[in-house]
Structure 1
Amino acid sequence: MPANATAPPRTDLNEYEDYARLGALLTLQQPRTDAPAELSFLVVTQIMELYFTLLRHEWESARDVLTRPGADVHRAVRTLRRAHGAQDALLASWEALRTLTPAEFDEFRDAFGVASGIQSYQYRHIEFLLGARHPRALAVHEQTPRIHAELAAQAAAPSLYDAALKLLRGRGFAVPEGLAERDPRTEYQGDDRLVAVWRAVYCDQPRHGDLADLGDALFDTAERHVRWKQRHLLSVWRSMGDKPGSAGTSGAQWLERGVHRKYFPDLWTVRDQGWA
């Protein structure tokens, strides 16, 4: 073939199927009823679990970068921003369920019994990475020892924000040692001293531009997650109102308690003060 000739396209379609594992992937959608809307519900549920898995990977990667000596902050920020695309797609997944009516949902709801999103261990991983360390969160998974052990390890590891605090202290900011080295199994509630640190970062962006970018990337991560939870609540209200949920939850009322949660609270509070 001449050097400047264009190679013919490959026609071995099995290459794509093998790489994407389509033979396995496309056998996983097995509705339990003949209800027309159940397949949509099942596919969206599986898609969300895949995105949770991707977010866990990206956020663990960003956390690990931030905790290394001489942390490459720009790399961590790029990782978080790449994950923003996954979060946006995750948020958009609710569109496929937006038109699900109560009658359509009731046609198949009983078929999944006590199955509930509260049992999603990948979602629990990302909540832990965001710093939500509920004392009873691990109890849901006690009957699955491998998953419980993985989640316990995640709960004992620094959150994304814990990693950021260690970085700020290492860069010379007045982060109290008790906060930078605190037990990550306890939930961080925010601290005015850290609000002052972030304001110092934002007020001197010529010197601390990478840290300001990190603060913005973390805030955008938190804000997207809050919006996803809000869309979840709206979807539940639309499809089942305030009826009790699965797995013993109170349904929409249980979800409603968490939709105003501010992950990485100092980054929200600093916006009360603003910066020049």
Structure 2
Amino acid sequence: MSDRPEDAKLDFSRDMSYGDYLQLDAILNAQKPLSPGHDEMLFIIQHQTSELWMKLMLHELGAAISSVANDELAPAFKMLARVSRILEQLVHAWDVLATMTPPEYSAIRPYLGASSGFQSWQYRCVEFRLGNKSATMLKPHEHHAGRLDIVRQAYESPSLYDEALRLLARRGLQIPQDHLQRDWTQPYVASDEVEQAWLQVYREPQKHWDLYQLGEELTDLEDAFRLWRFRHVTTVERIIGFKRGTGGTGGVSYLRRMLEVVLFPEIWKLRTDL
């Protein structure tokens, strides 16, 4: 055995290695293609990596919501900016999946069964944390009690925008009471009074600088989320056309309806009225 110091540095038998820390054996052995198709590996890795990014999104969103609720905006801004950058990563991930052609997908589709991204409990938590609430979206998770509990918690909790409006009220801006204490499971309904409160912020940004920055962080976030949704629609249409999704949804028709959802409506409308 060599006594050279540089050789000793390469011996990881007694210390935690890179692979140990990242649990790479588990991660890199989690791809189990079911079809003989070469392209199924792409399909699996695309969705597994997306789920990892969504795990980080939920980590950041949960902390950001708590920070806004506690009037700690500086860390919230960092977390929300990070979520927007994660969404950029997810947007570009569609570029890779788009290299799969319709015949290549058709070769693996019979092996997918009823599995579908529609059933992603993490994605549903992201939607709920951002305020797109729907009781129907709990049903795909009813077969797994533990996951359903996690999704239901996001469903029943105030969203990021709900906490932002409560913050505006604490700062003395006029937010309707029925937007401060309401059934958080119900979809958000836009309000002229809420828009007027945001207009005050945007008309006097120096006076309300951190609230103004919060408004822009929310705008960045929804902008990035819209791009992700759009790339999702176009990639699915490119690969399967208007066939129904494996999970039973209308496929592209369903995804196109999702493009119409506006998460923070007053922040977008004020741009016309400012």
Query: Retained in 2: the 8 A contact 1:226–1:260?
Result: no
Distance in 2 (alpha carbons) for counterparts of 1:227 and 1:155: 24
2:167 is aligned to: 167
The answer on 1:109 being equivalent to 2:109 is yes
The answer on 1:190 being equivalent to 2:190 is yes
Change (3 A) 1:184 1:12: farther
Unaligned segments of structure 1, at least 5 residues: 1-6
1:203 is aligned to: 203
The answer on 1:34 being equivalent to 2:33 is no
Give how far 1:241 is off.
0.3
Distance in 1 (alpha carbons) for counterparts of 2:176 and 2:252: 39
1:76 is aligned to: 76
Distance in 2 (alpha carbons) for counterparts of 1:43 and 1:12: 31
Give the 3-state SS of the residue equivalent to 2:10 in structure 1.
coil
The answer on 1:232 being equivalent to 2:220 is no
Change (3 A) 1:28 1:197: same
Give how far 1:250 is off.
1.2
2:17 is aligned to: 15
CA deviation vs aligned residue, 1:141-190 (integer Å, no higher than 9, x gap) = 11111111111111111100001011000010001121111221111021
2:251 is aligned to: 251
Q: Which amino acid aligns with 1:93?
A: A
2:53 is aligned to: 51
Distance in 1 (alpha carbons) for counterparts of 2:9 and 2:49: 29
Give how far 1:78 is off.
1.2
Change (3 A) 1:242 1:12: farther
Distance in 2 (alpha carbons) for counterparts of 1:173 and 1:243: 48
Unaligned segments of structure 2, at least 5 residues: none
The answer on 1:178 being equivalent to 2:178 is yes
CA deviation vs aligned residue, 1:86-127 (integer Å, no higher than 9, x gap) = 111111111111221110100101111110111000000000
2:69 is aligned to: 67
Query: Retained in 1: the 8 A contact 2:68–2:76?
Result: yes
Q: Which amino acid aligns with 1:148?
A: L
1:4 is aligned to: none
Query: Retained in 2: the 8 A contact 1:100–1:238?
Result: no
Query: Retained in 1: the 8 A contact 2:112–2:246?
Result: no
1:216 is aligned to: 216
Give the 3-state SS of the residue equivalent to 1:140 in structure 2.
helix
Change (3 A) 1:84 1:149: same
Q: Which amino acid aligns with 1:116?
A: S
Give how far 1:218 is off.
0.9
Give the 3-state SS of the residue equivalent to 1:136 in structure 2.
helix
Distance in 2 (alpha carbons) for counterparts of 1:245 and 1:12: 50
2:121 is aligned to: 121
- What is the number of equivalent residue pairs in this alignment? 266
Give how far 1:201 is off.
0.4
Between stretches 161-170 and 76-85, larger displacement belongs to 76-85
Give the 3-state SS of the residue equivalent to 2:123 in structure 1.
helix
Q: Structure 1: which 4+ aligned runs deviate by more than 3 Å?
A: 7-10
Distance in 2 (alpha carbons) for counterparts of 1:240 and 1:86: 26
Between stretches 8-17 and 262-271, larger displacement belongs to 8-17
Give the 3-state SS of the residue equivalent to 2:60 in structure 1.
helix
Distance in 2 (alpha carbons) for counterparts of 1:98 and 1:245: 16
Per the normalisation by structure 1, the TM-score is 0.93
Give the 3-state SS of the residue equivalent to 1:218 in structure 2.
helix
Distance in 2 (alpha carbons) for counterparts of 1:12 and 1:164: 51
Q: Which amino acid aligns with 1:76?
A: A
The answer on 1:145 being equivalent to 2:145 is yes
Identical counterparts, % of pairs: 33
